[in-house]
Structure formats: structure tokens, C-alpha cells
A = this chain, B = another copy of it.
Amino acid sequence: MRTKSATVQEKILASAELMFASKRFHEVRMEDLAMDAGVGKGTIYRYFKDKEELYTALLKVASGDLIKLLENTIKLQTSPKNKLIAILESSIQLFDAKPHLFDLILYAEVFQNSNNDFVWQQTRRNVIQIVENIFQMAENEKEFHIRNHKEAALLLLGGIRAIIRFGNTPRPGNLCTDLVNHFLYGFSKPQTCPNSPPQT
């Protein structure tokens, strides 16, 4: 058996990603993928024993990219509130640029091997943890104090997911700043609360 090469593997994954972006998931065939990547069908199967392994590999790359993106983006911000805004902005940018990622996640979730932990589930846990860490930092720095970290993180992240999938495009200019302000200080317009931040 010939040795595997990282370059060939990357080439296959790059082709797979483009193909999944333009076709319905179950329409993608390993044969077409081999042709597109310029490798033999046998080669594909040396790297990925079936379609499931291929999705899993693609999701692992996407997952690594997302976590790296979020970690880098929040490093650039000092205040916890701005870190939250940066997380929402980066997530929207990533998924708007790669809308097929949702399909990839849906598909892998449906076909997950029930014996394995679904690969994206660990990514979810990581992102929730990143958000909860920011809540904790805000509490330590007395910037704001979130009452129930887990539920609040889920609401914010599940909410932004729905907005990415079903919200208006092009995205309104101050979308993420508004969302974080409203999340922290209320979606209901306060009339006279002295503690509320500048309202947009």
C-alpha cells in the first residue's frame, strides 16, 4: 500500500468542500469527487473508507477553523462585551461565506454512527465554553453579570444560528452590536433606565 500524503488528502477535501457547496449532499458521488480532485477512485478510498469518513474529516477541518477563528477574534478585543460581539460577527461571516456548512452538519448529524460521539457536538461544547468563559470574565471585571451562564450561552448561540439561517440579508449594519446589547440589557426598549447602555 502506498503511503498517504497530506497534500493529496487536502486536495480531496478541498474538492469535496466545493462539491458539497454546489450539490445536494446525497447527490455527491465518490467517483465524481475522485475525478474532480484528479485522483483515482481507489486513491479516495485509501484516504476515506466511505462517505461518512469524508464528512467527518470535512467537519473536523471546519470545526478547527471555527474554533481558531473565534479564539483569534476574541483576543483582539479587550472588553467582554466586545468579545461577544466579535464572536457573533465572526460566526455570521463564516457561515455566510460557507452556507453549505449547515448542510454538512445536518447531514453528518443524521448519519452519525450512534456509537461515536457526533463530531460537531464537541465543537458545540467548545463554543459554549468560550462564551461561558467570557461571561465569567465579565463577572470578574464587573462589566456585567449573567444570571444563568449555560442557558444564556445556549440562547445566544442558538439565537445567532437561527438569525444566520433565517434572518434578513444583507445583514443590518449594527446587527451584532445591537444583538449583544439587547441580549445583555433587554430586547424591550427601556424608557428611563439609567443603567442601560446607549440605545441604537
Kindly report which residue of chain B lies nearest to residue A144, judged by CB atoms: B188
Q: Does B167 lie within 8 Å of A162, measured CB to CB?
A: no
How close is A150's CB to chain B, nearest CB, in angstroms?
A: 6
A111: chain B residues at CB < 8 Å are 26
A154: chain B residues at CB < 8 Å are 159, 162-163, 166-167
Q: Does A110 lie within 8 Å of B163, measured CB to CB?
A: no
Q: Does A150 lie within 8 Å of B168, measured CB to CB?
A: yes
A184: chain B residues at CB < 8 Å are 186-188
Interface residues on A, range: 35 or more
A89: chain B residues at CB < 8 Å are none
Q: Does A162 lie within 8 Å of B158, measured CB to CB?
A: yes
Copy tally for this chain in the complex stands at 2
Is A46 in contact with chain B by the CB < 8 A criterion?
no
Report the Cα distance A29→B107, complex, angstroms: 19
Partner of A155, one of B110, B144, B179, B186: B179
Is A147 in contact with chain B by the CB < 8 A criterion?
yes
A144: chain B residues at CB < 8 Å are 188-189
Q: Does A167 lie within 8 Å of B150, measured CB to CB?
A: yes
Q: Does A157 lie within 8 Å of B146, measured CB to CB?
A: no
How close is A153's CB to chain B, nearest CB, in angstroms?
A: 9
A148: chain B residues at CB < 8 Å are 172, 178
Among A155-185, those with CB < 8 Å from B are: 155-163, 165-168, 172, 175, 178-179, 182-185
* 9 CB < 8 A contacts A-B: A103-B110, A151-B163, A151-B179, A155-B179, A155-B187, A158-B163, A158-B165, A159-B159, A194-B194
A interface residues (Cβ-Cβ under 8 A, vs B): 24-26, 103, 106-107, 109-111, 114, 124, 128, 144-148, 150-152, 154-163, 165-168, 172, 175, 178-179, 182-196
CB-CB nearest 3 A-B residue pairs:
A158-B162, A155-B159, A144-B188
